Amino acid sequence: MASTHDTAARAAEVLVASNRGPVSYEVREDGSLHAKRGGGGLVSGLSAIGPEAGALWVCSALSDGDREAVRRGVGEEGVRMLAVPADVHEDAYNGIANSVLWFVHHLLYQTPLEPAFDAEFRRQWASYEAYNRAFAEALAEDAADGAAVLVQDYHLCLVPGMLRELRPDLRIGHFSHTPWAPVDYFALLPADIREQLLRGMLGADRLGFLTRRWADAFTACCTEFAGGPGKTRIGVHGLGADADFLRERSHRPDVDERMAALRAEIGEGRKAIVRVDRTELSKNIVRGLLAYRQLLDDHPEWRERVVHVAFAYPSRQDLAVYRDYMAEVRRLSEEINDAYGTPGWTPVLLNLKDDFARSLAAYRLADVALVNPIRDGMNLVAKEVPVVSDEGCALVLSREAGAYWELREDAITVNPYDVLETARALHEGLTMKPEERAERTKRLSAAATALPPAQWFLDQLNALREIQPS
């Protein structure tokens, strides 16, 4: 391990900035620090450019272990972790990013009651500004002349503008992993906040979005509230599934063990409707359960012949609205099991404990995959299932998922609010002939892996490097 000071002291040619970094720390009982490395598209991308590229990842200390690592000067090569005060991070991350910006971009507000942009909102917004400023200052400090900086997501919308003022020589990119709100919904935000967000983003040389739809929504907001996007270029990069990793990982012994256990739970000869999600408000798990119940009502022949395997992993449980949503998912699952279950058949197998190997096992054996978000930047589950499916899987897909634009020809697409339509789509998936299912899955898999994570990252980096400094 290198100290964070030593790591940051070398001027970096490529910098990534994100709320969550590639490593996290925990303090063990003996006081020692244990590092745990993460995965994902950014990790793949940075590894693709090689260690000689002089890359630096700037991220936030999220846990007590992370903050202790920073305090002790412990860090990973190529990573700079920022010890933003815990209360400032809480306000910026949960108060603004997850409770305001996420809700705006995913159209989640119950507008008769919320939002209410009051004095508490303004206090939290000041923390969001301070949080973004900490990133901008760290990036400005560590970037080599003319370096490429790739800022990630809605947590850091103000960074490009702040960084531009500090270091006009840098090539600055920002990528949005979420949807972007349409003009009328973005207009819910106070006028000065709208303008600050857009000006912050437009400090970048280049902005990336997952679909053309989200890019166009951003441009429309700029036209309405900021006089247009100006010189900032806008690109679309539809993040794909990592086929090599998924296929290798899904055939390890721990996945085989979980497949055997799942098959035993489902029961001999039964079909499986599978969903794997975080229990996130936008994922629409409750309407998925309502559609499954409707299927059992409309087609009693499926009773005792199908099981809904629902993996709903905890998300943002420090926010009351998410705890309430998880409680409703649990309540409705129990209600369906009580109403329809028999001694030998449990209609809904709900599991709330995160287990990646078990998710892969479910992908492999699914007859139908249900991916019905209210709104989603992309949705990688829709792309991962076809890649690892053993026998072919029918995909029921919301038209509001970013993945819809790449997968719609071979998926069964639904309006996520229409429970009856979703129930009909589940029936269509269950009755699809095996050969058609296999053919569709093959085409879905090809579309899903068209832009693997490493190439997704490199495409953005190369596009940014091609921009001539003004």
pLDDT digits (tens, 9 = 90+) for 247-296: 999 999 999 999 999 999 999 999 999 999 988 889 999 999 999 999 99
Closest CA to 274 of 262, 257, 282: 262
Same domain, 216 and 288: no
Instruction: Give 173-205 pLDDT, tens digit per residue.
Output: 999 999 999 999 999 999 999 999 999 999 999
Domain range for residue 94? Answer: 4-239+454-466
Same domain, 123 and 272: no
Same domain, 352 and 375: yes
Same domain, 178 and 325: no
Residue 452 DSSP SS3: coil
Alpha-carbon distance 73 to 69, whole Å?
Answer: 6
Instruction: Please tell me whether the overall predicted TM-score, pTM, comes out greater than 0.75 for this model.
Output: yes
**pLDDT attached to residue 323:** 87
Using an 8 Å Cβ cutoff, are 275 and 369 in contact? yes
> What tokens were used for 366?
């699914």
Same domain, 416 and 399: yes
The CATH number of whichever domain residue 255 belongs to comes to: 3.40.50.2000
Same domain, 234 and 297: no
CA end-to-end span of the chain: 39
**pLDDT attached to residue 1:** 35
Among the ranges given (43-52, 162-171, 327-336, 382-391), the one the predictor scored with the smallest mean pLDDT: 43-52
Same domain, 425 and 397: yes
Q: Mean per-residue pLDDT for 354-365?
A: 94
Same domain, 211 and 180: yes
Could you tell me what percent of the chain has a pLDDT over 70?
95
Same domain, 42 and 168: yes
Same domain, 76 and 203: yes
Q: How far is CA 287 from the centre of its chain?
A: 20
Alpha-carbon distance 332 to 351, whole Å?
Answer: 13
Cis peptide before 115 (omega within 30 of 0): yes
**pLDDT attached to residue 280:** 87
Alpha-carbon distance 409 to 444, whole Å?
Answer: 9
> In sequence order, what are the residues at sequence separation of 6 or more whose Cβ sits closer than 8 angstroms to the Cβ of residue 120?
none
Domain count, the chain: 2
Residue 344 DSSP SS3: coil
Same domain, 218 and 86: yes
Q: How far is CA 217 from the centre of its chain?
A: 19
Instruction: Give 217-251 pLDDT, tens digit per residue.
Output: 999 999 999 999 999 999 999 999 999 999 999 99
**pLDDT attached to residue 45:** 67
Alpha-carbon distance 162 to 118, whole Å?
Answer: 25
> What tokens were used for 161?
């503008």
Same domain, 338 and 232: no
Confidence of residue 5 (pLDDT cuts 50, 70, 90): very low
Q: At 134, which amino acid appears?
A: A
